[in-house]
Structure 1
Amino acid sequence: MLSELLQGTDSGGLLVIQDTCRYSGRDLLRSFISAALSRGDVVHVLGFDVDEEELKDGLKTPDSQALHIHSAYADPLGWNDHSAFTVNNFNLEELTNLVKQTSDLKPATLVIDSLSWVLRHVAPPAVCRILHQLRKGGAVRTVIALLHADLHQRGTVGSLSHLASSLITVAPGVRANEAVAKITKHLKSGKVIQDEEIFSVNEDLTVIVHSKHPEHKQNDAEEEQMDPTANLTFNLRLSDSEAEAKNKLTLPFVFSKEKKTALLHPGMGSGRILYEPDANDDYDQEDPDDDLDV
């Protein structure tokens, strides 16, 4: 599924790469930039976390006009008036104008590196609203954002994960050059597809998908073979003698043969009331009305 996302077959969506301090998702983010440029897309990058040179390292741009980096790394808040783009420009109107001024008529791909920096200075509900409006505005084809999940509260991460049409959560793999990607994709039909793959990023930013996570497969097999009743302190199964005794037991409210016959074949012009006393009944023949409070 990771290869399909890199091909960019889905348009109009929000793709969030979620990482932690254990493994950085920036190389994978740059791989998505490289793949978009290879397709001939116009790419706009909002850079907050690293400078422009580090972000462009390894990127091959066949068309020099296809990649536009709006770096806010040196002056993200605009205190020195040296940045052409600051976090204060992160709103629908200015982002739309920014993309339209330097793009062709076709929609562009907007990359945010990283969304965590924006969330430190813009309220999460406003960020979610802007991202949702960008997807529907028409100027942006796809939004790809990097999110450092361990810097935010669960509610913020959960809101952005729910808003994303595709979510890639990366973690370190068993080998030093490999990583694990847990992918959740929301289809337009409402169906949710999940997958887990082992991948690596080469120096030229190409992504190699090795296989599905072997530990994930092993855990699934163990869950299928595990007997949940194996370690209980009581027995849920019946022995042969217990099953035979259960089958001979007369259940409550089961009609006797005499009562069933009387109900199915009543006499002409006459009726009878049949009473079968229970074992716990305290019936006094001398005073039938003993149970009445009179």
Structure 2
Amino acid sequence: MLLEVLQGTEAGGFILIQDTVKYSGRQLLKSYLNTALKREEEIVHVLGFETSEDELRDGLDKTSAQRLHFHNAYSDPLGWTANSPFTVHQFTVEDISTLLKQTPQAKAVTLVIDSLSWILRHHPPAVICQTLQALKKGGAVRTVVGLLHTDMHQRGTVGSIRHLASAHITVAPETRGMGAVAKTTRRTKSGKLMQDEQIFSINEELSVTVQSKHSHPGRSHNNTDESEVDPTANLTFNLRLSDTEREAKEKLALPFVFSKEKKSALLHPGPGSGRILYEPDANDDYDQEDPDDDLDV
């Protein structure tokens, strides 16, 4: 699933790459950028807050460099000088749309934000979410790709940004030193969530190679331990039956269950069964023609 997202198999929406100080997601961002530049019909705009243009272009496909437009917000992000190309205060739908119109329009435009963490330091999360939502559905941009340093923000802020993403990739170092782990979550058009976890590596040409599925050696053992925990171990009374008690319980005849022999005896009484005989005496006022004569009705 990681390669499908990076190669833009399902175009459109908002792709979020999440990293921490333990492993940087910028190389993965550049890999997506490099793949997008190789698509001839696509133009890529980059809002660069954390890296210079030379550093960003290093390693990218040089044959399609003319389709990469870098908007420098790295040298003067707060606009302290009068000639700042782009500032954090210009992160609005109107300013970004004006920026995109300054270049020749193509069928597909990809907007790369490096990074959202820098912008979140100067804008409320609600404003960022509204801007991303408008860019995602505005029509001028085919795909929005953003890098987010999750360990710099509160969990609620990260969750709000992630909720907007049609696909988000969380990267972390692999404990066995085999590369890095990417946990990819993608939302289909029907709303279904698909998740995958893979070990990957990136070479000097920014090509991503998926090595294997990421396994959790200790997870199955932990689940086994949890399933074998006896919830009745510390009770002051016994809920279990011994073999002898269970055998006696199975042989016990319940009072409301009739065996075939008992049913036969009740339905077909034998000659020695008891009967009740009633012989009226002289004091009984019994009228055979009117048995209810003694009732005051």
- Normalised to the residue count of structure 2, the TM-score between the two structures is 0.79
Q: Which residue of 2 aligns with 1:169?
A: 170
User: What's the CA shift for 1:97?
Assistant: 1.9
1:150 aligns with 2:151: yes
Relative distance call for 1:131 and 1:227 in structure 2 (3 A) is: closer
User: What's the CA shift for 1:94?
Assistant: 1.2
CA distance in 2, matches of 1:249, 1:228: 33
Q: Which residue of 2 aligns with 1:243?
A: 246
CA distance in 1, matches of 2:239, 2:3: 48
User: What's the CA shift for 1:102?
Assistant: 1.1
Is the contact made by 2:93 and 2:135 (CA closer than 8 Å) also made in structure 1?
A: yes
User: What's the CA shift for 1:220?
Assistant: 5.1
CA distance in 1, matches of 2:143, 2:2: 16
User: What's the CA shift for 1:177?
Assistant: 6.6
Is the contact made by 2:174 and 2:181 (CA closer than 8 Å) also made in structure 1?
A: yes
Task: Structure 2: state its 5+ residue gaps.
Answer: 268-297
Q: Which residue of 1 aligns with 2:18?
A: 18
User: What's the CA shift for 1:62?
Assistant: 2.2
User: What's the CA shift for 1:222?
Assistant: 3.2
Q: Which residue of 1 aligns with 2:209?
A: 208
Q: Secondary structure at the match of 2:142?
A: strand
Q: Secondary structure at the match of 2:227?
A: coil
Q: Which residue of 1 aligns with 2:87?
A: 86
Select between 118-127 and 81-90 the one with higher mean Cα deviation.
81-90
Relative distance call for 1:143 and 1:238 in structure 2 (3 A) is: farther
Is the contact made by 2:38 and 2:64 (CA closer than 8 Å) also made in structure 1?
A: no
User: What's the CA shift for 1:35?
Assistant: 0.6
Is the contact made by 2:43 and 2:106 (CA closer than 8 Å) also made in structure 1?
A: no
Q: Which residue of 2 aligns with 1:282?
A: none
Q: Which residue of 1 aligns with 2:38?
A: 38
Task: Structure 1: state its 5+ residue gaps.
Answer: 266-294
Q: Secondary structure at the match of 2:102?
A: helix
Greater radius of gyration (CA): 2
Q: Which residue of 2 aligns with 1:193?
A: 194
CA distance in 2, matches of 1:180, 1:255: 64
CA distance in 2, matches of 1:52, 1:64: 12
Is the contact made by 1:167 and 1:184 (CA closer than 8 Å) also made in structure 2?
A: yes
Relative distance call for 1:230 and 1:50 in structure 2 (3 A) is: same
CA distance in 1, matches of 2:239, 2:181: 41
Identical aligned residues as a percent = 55
Equivalent residues in 2 for 1:68-87, closer than 5 Å: 68-87=69-88
Q: Which residue of 1 aligns with 2:28?
A: 28
Equivalent residues in 2 for 1:114-153, closer than 5 Å: 114-153=115-154
Relative distance call for 1:96 and 1:107 in structure 2 (3 A) is: farther
Relative distance call for 1:192 and 1:255 in structure 2 (3 A) is: same
Letter in 2 for 1:242: E
- Normalised to the residue count of structure 1, the TM-score between the two structures is 0.79
